[in-house]
Amino acid sequence: MPNSRPLPEADAALPERFNHAREVQANAVMEDYVELISDLMAEFGEARIADIAQRLGVTHPTATKAVARLKKAGLAVSRPYRGVFLTDVGAALADKVRARHRTLVDLLIKVGVPEDVAELDAEGMEHHVSDAALAAFRAYLAK
Closest Cα partner for 41 from 87, 101, 103? 87
Q: Is a pLDDT exceeding 80 seen at residue 109?
A: yes
Contact 98, 88 (CB under 8 A): no
H helices of 1-143, in order, are 14-44, 49-56, 60-72, 88-110, 115-125, 131-142
Q: Which pLDDT belongs to residue 51?
A: 97
Q: Which pLDDT belongs to residue 16?
A: 72
Q: Which residues pair with 84 in a beta bridge?
A: 47, 78
Nearest 10 degrees: Cα torsion 123, 87, 43, 79? 130
CA–CA dist 136, 127 (Å, integer): 16
Mean per-residue pLDDT of the chain: 90
Q: Which pLDDT belongs to residue 24?
A: 67
The domain defined by 14-142 folds into: Arc Repressor Mutant, subunit A (1.10.10)
65: Cα separation from own chain's centroid: 17
Domain regions of the chain by residue span = 14-142
Output the pTM of the full model.
0.80
57-to-50, 82, 88, 112 alpha-carbon distances in Å: 10, 21, 26, 30
Percent of the chain scoring above 70 in pLDDT: 86
Answer with the residue of higher pLDDT: 3 or 139: 139
Contact 70, 33 (CB under 8 A): yes
Q: Is a pLDDT exceeding 60 seen at residue 7?
A: no
Q: Which pLDDT belongs to residue 22?
A: 72
pLDDT in tens, 29-86: 899 999 999 999 999 999 999 999 999 999 999 999 999 999 999 999 998 889 999 9
